[in-house]
Amino acid sequence: MDLHILDHRLRVTCISKSGLEHYTHPLIKLIFLRNRTRCKFFSLTETPENYTVVLDEEGFKELQLSEHLQVEGSTWLPLNVVSNGNASSSSQAVGVTKIAKSVIAPLAEQHVSVFMLSTYQTDFILVREKDLSVVVETLVEEFSIFREEGGESVPVHSQAACNGLQRNGREVPHATVHPVLIPENQFCVMSLDPDTLPAIATTLIDVLFYSNSPKEGASVDEDIECIKFFSFSLIDGYVSLVMDTEAQRQFPADLLFTSSSGELWRMVRIGGQPLGFDECGIVAQISQPLADSDISAYYISTFSFDHALVPEEDIVSVTEMLQAQRKDMSS
Amino acid sequence: MDLHILDHRLRVTCISKSGLEHYTHPLIKLIFLRNRTRCKFFSLTETPENYTVVLDEEGFKELQLSEHLQVEGSTWLPLNVVSNGNASSSSQAVGVTKIAKSVIAPLAEQHVSVFMLSTYQTDFILVREKDLSVVVETLVEEFSIFREEGGESVPVHSQAACNGLQRNGREVPHATVHPVLIPENQFCVMSLDPDTLPAIATTLIDVLFYSNSPKEGASVDEDIECIKFFSFSLIDGYVSLVMDTEAQRQFPADLLFTSSSGELWRMVRIGGQPLGFDECGIVAQISQPLADSDISAYYISTFSFDHALVPEEDIVSVTEMLQAQRKDMSS
């Protein structure tokens, strides 16, 4: 398999709930007005805590610093695994499960933090730019590694990228088992033709920017078992949307499409306290057992928590698996 | 003819050019998300100086006070003239011309300031609430006056409305003749089915909120003879748009409609210095000669200047008329 280091230099930021309206102007530009910005990598995820915005440096320039915006200090690079047809794996699973053993686990062992961003189209593995040489060194045995530069794919050789590299020799500390939350809502992972984005503009704006203000006449009947989670990304011209079925009903049914009709996902939110960016092995902890059981999973990291999405029919076994894991670790 | 005092209590406000992005959140809500607001009267007009926002008290609540927002101190009420079929006038002209002699001139004589807002559908004459009794007293001979209250039209009798009224006995001062500017661009006055507003959302958002930031790749080739002027209103569910032909080209041609296809208007901007809100007779000064010549005109007041729109084919005679008026006044 090939591993591509994509040509985007990313910032991971977070807008507070109350601060979102101050960022409406740049965010709407980044989402809807492609000809007004050079941003090519944009992702916005709403969780109950805040809004996580991951975007390239061109996009980041649009965000004015303020007390409403938190910015993680590093530059992150997105990695992308491309099956080149002769993959020996017999796995039918998709998403993070497919790369659990080949990418996630080795990086965790090397104490490299990853920030995952699954989309409808693919799974981006974000690593800190400063960790790149370790990443290459770690993955070069398993993958042909290419660095995208100005539309070209340039092969990366371990020596070239890792001049003077010292492998992280640290012992991986005994991983913390984070509490998980399994909300009741069902999610769908969707896409749409980017040319039809204008057709859902007012709905998307409503959901993203105004869903916290009460609708006139609507009764407040929030299901406390459900979680607020909505993710939009526009990356290299591809749109991906992750939303629950309630939000989905607000969109015109004929424009959004999902990989197999009616496919629904349940969420496992990882972390009782905000996770931070320095702990390693969080993705590995959940993706490993999923890979063992060949269960597909999307995985979306946010500023505060991580979120895995697993097929609805597998949620019971995933829950049992996580409970067993918990027991093992604490015993 | 009937004169209706409409059931809206309006504020006239102004957002600075650099402050607009701070108001993107409430303005997009007011323009596109009708089910999230009780605002029923909203108008936004961009001029080279600033953005004039006229809106009812429900809408005004959405605007946070800041150094970017100026608010005129009064509450304004919109008046509306309704032909009830037996109008004796043989005039074919539309817009402010139709009401120049019956409304505009008498109010000017009574020293009542008016703020005009022509739309595709009708012409609103805004008067200060505190002037209402003078307005009624002044117009009651010419009109059957009704006050709209909760969907009902209640007849207004001069005595009832004007308890203790003292007619403004002041002499109307010799009117100042304001310089006028006649820019080169051609304007159209359009409407669209409010249900299709979502279909033009991204274009409208682009034009309203991002037209001052350069487009990627676009050359800066601004015609200094043209004026930036764009007006959007959403009043009682009716949409009206006034824009020049250059802006019009950005919108899908099949959604916007105009009263007679291809009808184009030229602008007369009144005022060399910002006009303020206390001078009277400004609208009268231009609408009277237009009425004498039976030339149609839309009229849009903004925070800083007034703007009349006259048919393209009449712009030469209007220009001559204004020059003659100028000579008369100065001689």
ipTM of the modeled complex: 0.85
Instruction: Name the DSSP letter for residue B99.
Output: G
Given this model, what pLDDT does residue B217 score? Answer: 47
The share of chain B scoring above pLDDT 90, in percent, equals: 67
Give the minimum alpha-carbon distance from B251 to chain A in angstroms, rounded to a whole number: 12
Instruction: Name the DSSP letter for residue A95.
Output: B
Average of pLDDT values for B188-207? 95
Average of pLDDT values for B130-136? 96
Cβ-based neighbour number of residue A288 at 10 Å = 18
Q: Please name the member of A32, A35, A210 whose beta carbon is closest to the beta carbon of B215.
A: A35
Residue type, B53: V
Give the minimum alpha-carbon distance from A72 to chain B in angstroms, rounded to a whole number: 24
Best residue in A207, A210, A211, A255 for a mutation probing chain B (most B CBs within 10 Å)? A210
Task: Give the pLDDT band (50/70/90) at residue B219.
Answer: very low
Average of pLDDT values for A298-303? 95
Helix A201-210 and helix A24-32, axial crossing angle in degrees, nearest 10: 150
Task: Give the pLDDT band (50/70/90) at residue A260.
Answer: low
Q: Does the beta-carbon distance from A25 to B197 stay under 8 Å?
A: no
Evaluate if residue A168 carries a pLDDT over 70: no
Evaluate if residue A67 carries a pLDDT over 90: yes
Label residues A165-182 b or e (16+ Cβ within 10 Å = b): eeebeeeeeeeeebebee
Q: Cβ contacts of residue B307 below 8 Å, gap of 6+?
A: B47, B229, B267, B268, B269, B270, B299, B300, B301
Task: Give the pLDDT band (50/70/90) at residue A324.
Answer: confident
Instruction: Name the DSSP letter for residue A137.
Output: H
Q: Does the beta-carbon distance from A35 to B205 stay under 8 Å?
A: no
Given this model, what pLDDT does residue A323 score? Answer: 87
Q: Does the beta-carbon distance from B25 to A29 stay under 8 Å?
A: no
Evaluate if residue B167 carries a pLDDT over 80: no
Size of interface A-B (CB pairs under 8 A): 74
Q: Please name the member of B35, B201, B213 whose beta carbon is closest to the beta carbon of A201.
A: B201
- What's chain A's average pLDDT? 88
The share of chain A scoring above pLDDT 90, in percent, equals: 67
Q: Which chain B residues are closer than 8 Å to A217 by Cβ?
A: 35
Evaluate if residue A11 carries a pLDDT over 70: yes
Chain A residues whose C-beta sits inside 8 Å of any chain B C-beta: 20-22, 24-26, 28-29, 32-33, 35-38, 197-199, 201-203, 205-206, 209-210, 213, 215-217
Is B247 in contact with B60 (CB distance < 8 Å)?
Answer: no
Instruction: Name the DSSP letter for residue B297.
Output: B
Task: Give the pLDDT band (50/70/90) at residue A161.
Answer: very low
pTM of the model: 0.88
- What's chain B's average pLDDT? 88
User: In this structure, what token pair is assigned to residue A7?
Assistant: 């040509």
Task: Give the pLDDT band (50/70/90) at residue A302.
Answer: very high
Give the minimum alpha-carbon distance from B21 to chain A in angstroms, rounded to a whole number: 6
Residue type, B314: D
Average of pLDDT values for B196-224? 76
Cα–Cα distance measured from residue B211 to residue B244, given in angstroms and rounded to the nearest whole number:
13
Q: Which chain A residues are closer than 8 Å to B202 by Cβ?
A: 32-33, 197-198, 201
Evaluate if residue B111 carries a pLDDT over 80: yes
Q: Which chain A residues are closer than 8 Å to B21 by Cβ?
A: 25-26
Given this model, what pLDDT does residue B314 score? Answer: 94
